[in-house]
Amino acid sequence: MHLLEYSRWLEDTWWATAIRESGYVYPFVEGSHVMALALSVGAVLWFDLRLMGLTMRGDRVSDVFQQVRPWMLFGFAVMFITGALLFAARASDAYESTYFRLKLALLVLGGINIVLFHTTIDRRRDEWDAAGRPPLQAQLAGGVSLVLWFTIIAVGRIMAYNL
pTM for the structure as a whole: 0.90
- Measured distance CA(48)–CA(21) in Å, rounded: 39
Closest CA to 80 of 24, 136, 29, 20: 29
What does the chain come to in residues? 163
The answer, yes or no, to whether residue 1 has pLDDT greater than 80, is no
Q: What is the mean pLDDT of the chain?
A: 95
- Give tens-digit pLDDT for 129-142: 999 999 999 999 99
Domains in the chain, number: 1
Give the separation between CA 32 and CA 94, rounded to whole angstroms: 19
pLDDT tens-digit map of 19-39: 999 999 999 999 999 999 999
Cβ burial, residue 108 (10 Å; 0-12/13-18/19+): exposed
Boundaries of domain holding 72:
3-162
